[in-house]
A and B are shown apart, each in its own frame.
Chain A
Amino acid sequence: MDPYLVTFLPSHITLKAEREETILEISRRAGVDIEGPCGGRGRCGKCKVLVKKSKGISEPSEEERQILKALISSGYRLACQAVLRDETTISIPKAEKCSEVRTNKGIKGGFPKLRPVSFVEWELEESDIKACPSKEEIILRGLKRKGFKREAKVELELLKGLPPLHELLEKRLIFVLLKDGEILKIAKDPIQKIYGIAFDIGTTTIGGYLVDLMEGQVAGSLARPNAQRAFGHDVMSRVSFSMEHPKGLTLLRSSLLECMNKMVEELCDQIDIRPDMICEGVLVGNTVMHHIFLGFPLKDLAHAPYRPLTTKAIRLRAKETGLFLSETGHVNLLPPKAAFLGSDIVAAVLATGIHKRKEPSLLMDIGTNAEIVLGNRERLLCTSAAASPAFEGAHLKCGTWSMPGAIERVEVEGGGQEIRLKTIGGLTPKGICGSGVISALASFLKAGLISKTGRLSHKIPSSRLREGEEGLEILLYKGEGGEEVVITEKEIGEIMLAKGAIKAGIQVLRRHWKGEEISQVTVTGSFGASLGPSDLKEIGLIPLGVADTIKTVENAAGIGACMALLGVRKRKEIERIVSMMEYVELSQDPEFEELLVEGLLLEGA
């Protein structure tokens, strides 16, 4: 067919297309940001665009008709469904842009004091040269002389950067940095500063931490949306994408690396250093992200029996991975436990230290999936329970990411007469995010305006309660321009289902545990930590009888990754945690369904 031009407004980016392609596919090539939560399946409706004019476009699909309804006649289409074959101009509605997600500030949360690296000054001696046949051994002999009894190892890569021996003899100065016997850097001049970087790669957000290795302190932190979101919002849609498109995995990988390299630069700019001053990296994340970073095929994560390619720790030269750090820098990928229990939850165990406590603790990372660990210093049980994309605001009628303008708290007063809303950044409400929905549920419950089976009460003033397209709904906000934010009974049901699945996961672990009652609950993950602990109790996510105090830690996985940055010992501890963890499979559990139905109810039982 003849090539044709496609123009995207308002950016006026124009691109040549040569075959029949969906608007979404073309937009990805053009670098135009269109959200694709469901991975281009025509399910979520978030990729809605306005077709201004077109000389060749497919007829609306059944999915488009169902989702867009009357909007179709005004020219709206779903970018993932509409196939172009001739000149077209498309306008992208000003929507939640990736970059607006609440990630611009640094990452909150306290960091433990980390152990700084040690520093050794060493002079090259004639005797070393006489005694050794190679540069490698000369360095090692020198170290031994300095009192390093343990077998030290030196990466040949580090030696490649050194001046020739005859020059070194003249200068007679080498600085070696060591941590737990590992040589990070060798230089001929005094080293001013040396940094490490830790990444927590989530499906939605990537956290980055720059650590000053000499001080043992986090010097800067940053969260950015994972750019892979254009290929689907949840991990499974990305796994599918990698298998359905010939270059899928490469695309996912390069989009991840681009994102990470950009973060390296931004973090460096924060404290005015250069990426080549970063000599060590630690990566944690869910297992799909881990595999994508390494370029491992995702097929085994797509179907039962779900097995990761490896559950061992991996250490690689940074430059081999495409991450731009120091020439001689390394990255360590901490080991995942299972296909749906990534190194992030393992790092969170390290950070919270539940594997060292005598009393049992419950640790949960809640997001679209919930990773749950129950245990103490003797035994750690773990599982992964599917939850719902609704937790991240996706698939809700008025749902948004946790971005400025998203309703994150809902308070009810006067029997529902007054509803007070708190939005992120204090802006006028643009929609509601997952934590807002949970907060609303908790407040309605407290006010007796919703039944434990999720039904809205007719005590709610009629100005707020109404029949919508999807059944009964409650109006939370109506703006001057008529824009509205509602929650429907159907959505409440979906949230309850997800909550039920998580609770059932906890209950299955408790049944396997059999021991002493849980004395401490920690909730982490950016969604989990945004929930009010009292809300979690109110809606009954945490079973009764379990510790009263619920602690939230925003970034336990990131903290764990930073800790692992500072020493082989911590990385060994991580490996020990992985081997301590016993995986409990929920899909084979005969009681799961029963527990899920019990767990759905909005009550603290």
Chain B
Amino acid sequence: MESAEEVLEGLKEAIIRGNRKGALELLQRSLELKVDPQKIVDDYMIPALNVVGKRFEERKIFIPEMMIAAKSMQACLDVIKPLLPKEEGKKKGVVVIGTVFGDLHDIGKNLVVMLLENSGFEVIDLGVNVPPERFVEEARRVNAQVVGISSLLTTGDPYVKKTVETLRASEIGDRIKIICGGAALTPNFVYSIGADSYAPDAASGVSKIKEILQIDS
């Protein structure tokens, strides 16, 4: 019989390779071997997804493999989350995120959410079609440091602009950091409307957020 270490390494590899069935089996086996669920998540699952994000950023893997890996991760998270002790610990920061008003795309944004949570951020996901005022209200309510806006449609530009303007004009305007991403946006546009950062993909979204919050790792 293989050691717990082997099973766990296998689990990590299965998530990276997007082998959902394999990952779920190995997760089950690690649980049967009485490995601490927190350890499974912290030392194997999270690093697995980080590898995926990094490989994507480095153009070693592309959208399909990233999405498939994210799905295996999600499937494992669904199993293991109920077993984790209630969260306490200090979060790296609070991020409010959503897809811009008028836009219903959320697959890319969901990936960003997953990677952010993976990296220790608390994420409040407002879903899709989010009006500018909701970003402000929620960011204020949860005392967020960062607002993330996702936009996939060319026609969303005016609303991205309006959202940034509304945030800036609000009472949290001078302290909130704003990051925008999604296939419709260009860095030029994002900076010209007064956002703090632009991210071309999910992994760089996380590193950019760390950058603007001046978090080291």
Contacts and interface: CB of A to CB of B under 8 A. Distances in A.
Binding partners A and B: yes
A601 B20 CA distance: 14
Q: Size range of the interface on B?
A: 20 to 34
Interface in B96-127: 101-107, 110
Interface string B87-103: 00000000000000111
B64 A454 contact: yes
Nearest to B198: A62
B153 A454 contact: no
Given A240-B155, A493-B63, A587-B105, A453 B129 contact: no
B80 interface: no
B129 A43 contact: no
B116 to A, nearest CB: 18
B155 A63 contact: no
B135 to A, nearest CB: 16
A52 to B, nearest CB: 25
B186 A41 contact: yes
Contact of A453 (B68, B101, B107): B68
Contact of A239 (B110, B129, B155, B159): B155
Given A63-B186, A302-B155, A497 B63 contact: yes
Given A494-B63, A601-B68, 9 more contacts: A41-B154, A236-B154, A240-B155, A243-B155, A303-B101, A304-B104, A453-B68, A490-B62, A601-B64
Interface string B68-88: 100100000000000000000
B62 A240 contact: no
A61 interface: yes
14 contacts: A41-B186, A61-B188, A63-B188, A236-B154, A302-B153, A303-B153, A304-B103, A304-B129, A453-B18, A453-B64, A470-B59, A489-B62, A492-B62, A593-B107
A470 B61 CA distance: 10
Nearest to A234: B154
A135 interface: no
Nearest to B104: A587
A256 to B, nearest CB: 19
A593 B60 CA distance: 23
B13 interface: no
Contacts of B102: 302-304
A240 B154 contact: yes
Contacts of A493: 62-65
A164 interface: no
Contacts of B104: 304, 587-588
A453 B63 CA distance: 10
Contacts of B156: 303
A355 B66 CA distance: 40
A39 interface: yes
B71 A594 contact: yes
A47 to B, nearest CB: 14
Interface string A100-120: 000000000000000000000
A494 B64 CA distance: 8
B186 A243 contact: no
Contact of A471 (B60, B110, B157): B60
B194 interface: no
B40 interface: no
B173 interface: no
Nearest to A592: B107
B188 A454 contact: no
Q: Size range of the interface on A?
A: 35 or more
A600 interface: yes
A597 interface: yes
A472 to B, nearest CB: 8
A237 interface: yes
Nearest to B59: A471
A455 interface: yes
B63 A42 contact: no
A396 interface: no
Contacts of B101: 303
A194 interface: no
Interface string A563-605: 0000000000000000000000001100001101100110000
Contacts of A587: 104-105, 128
B65 A454 contact: yes
Contacts of A588: 104
B59 A490 contact: yes
Contacts of A494: 62-63
A455 B18 CA distance: 13
B67 interface: yes
Contacts of B61: 455
A453 B65 contact: yes
Contacts of B18: 453
A43 B186 contact: yes
A455 to B, nearest CB: 7
Nearest to A499: B64
Interface in B157-198: 157-159, 186-189
A494 B67 CA distance: 12
A101 to B, nearest CB: 23
B63 A496 contact: yes
B149 to A, nearest CB: 15
Contacts of A593: 106-107, 110
A396 to B, nearest CB: 14
B35 to A, nearest CB: 28
Given A587-B105, A600-B68, A240 B157 contact: yes
